[in-house]
A = this chain, B = another copy of it.
Amino acid sequence: MIESNFSTIVKQFNVVFLDSYGVLKNHNGLIEGVNETLHFIREQGLTLRVLTNDASRSREQQVMVFEKLGLHGLDKEEIITSGMLAKQFLDLKIKDGKIAYLGTDNSADYILESGLEHIPVREIDLEDVDDISAFVFLDDEGFNWNDDLNKTVNLLRRKNMPVIVANSDRYYPVSKSDVSIATGALAKLVEDMLKRKFIHFGKPDSQMFVYAFDHINESGSYKRDEILMVGDTLTTDILGGNKFGLKTMLVLSGNTRREKTDLWINSTGIIPDYISESIVT
């Protein structure tokens, strides 16, 4: 592990993958100075991708949210969301029927736009489930947990079908001290009830990195050792980056605080190649 500045280290690479929450923004909004960092990345001629487990918004919407926070100049082509992996899976594997989902209608519209009909759990009639061919956990919002989690359990007891989880995060921060239960934790509740494992997309799973790697190589020719993965979370960003063979940098501007860093690295055994205060250094 080398403690250093982001700007010093990133020059040694040709591509940089950035996590979103904890790297570009946190519960206070945009991290001060990231516009300058983005400018520096452009100046250095680096290829950039933002890898996020947020499946609730399309790439266009992600860019708009960043704009509103004050981050300018991100291109939608530079955003990779776990929702895109879910969409790729559905396109490849589900050819007919309706796709049932838990989440907001907005998240459903963009992930499930592939032509197949989709239906929120609250509108499903459990006595008539023959035409439902797949199930997607999209978001923790947009539905009543009491009603729709129970209905989901019974739907999946009645009919066997592929179930995918578009965001495997268990929680997300909502303020300095508080978190919110995320889709991954709700999916885990249902998995435990059914004693099944669903198909999860998002970091640390390799498929997120594969997708981003293929994406940059559509218009380039990069090897894995040319890429730096930067994130604030050991168990998603750093674990996933390491496993895919990338060099990894842990930043301390999000979930991992300075005073916990050594403890967490030792207890998880997940070791970043670099540590930096933030990307604004």
Contact = CB atoms under 8 A, between A and B. Distances in A.
A178 B162 contact: no
A102 to B, nearest CB: 12
Copies of this protein in the assembly total 4
A192 to B, nearest CB: 6
A194 B145 contact: no
A69 interface: no
Interface string A187-200: 01100111111110
Interface string A247-281: 00000000000000001011111010000000000
A193 B161 CA distance: 27
Interface on chain A toward B: helix, strand, loop, or mixed SS?
Answer: helix
Nearest to A180: B150
A73 B98 CA distance: 45
A210 interface: yes
Interface stretch (A16-24, A53-61, A152-160): A152-160
Given A88-B245, A146-B144, A193-B170, A177 B157 contact: yes
A2 interface: no
Contacts of A199: 239, 242-243
Contacts of A156: 269
Nearest to A143: B146
A160 B266 contact: yes
Contacts of A88: 245
A170 B139 CA distance: 23
- Bin chain A's interface residue count: 35 or more
Given A149-B145, A271-B162, A245 B193 contact: no
A271 B207 contact: no
Contact of A198 (B186, B197, B269): B269
Contacts of A193: 170-171, 179, 181, 185
A186 B161 CA distance: 24
Contacts of A163: 269
A122 to B, nearest CB: 13
Contacts of A67: none
A222 interface: no
Interface in A90-145: 92-93, 126, 144-145
Given A93-B245, A144-B145, A160-B269, 16 more contacts: A92-B224, A93-B242, A144-B146, A145-B145, A146-B146, A154-B179, A162-B269, A185-B189, A185-B193, A186-B189, A188-B189, A189-B189, A199-B239, A206-B207, A207-B243, A210-B210
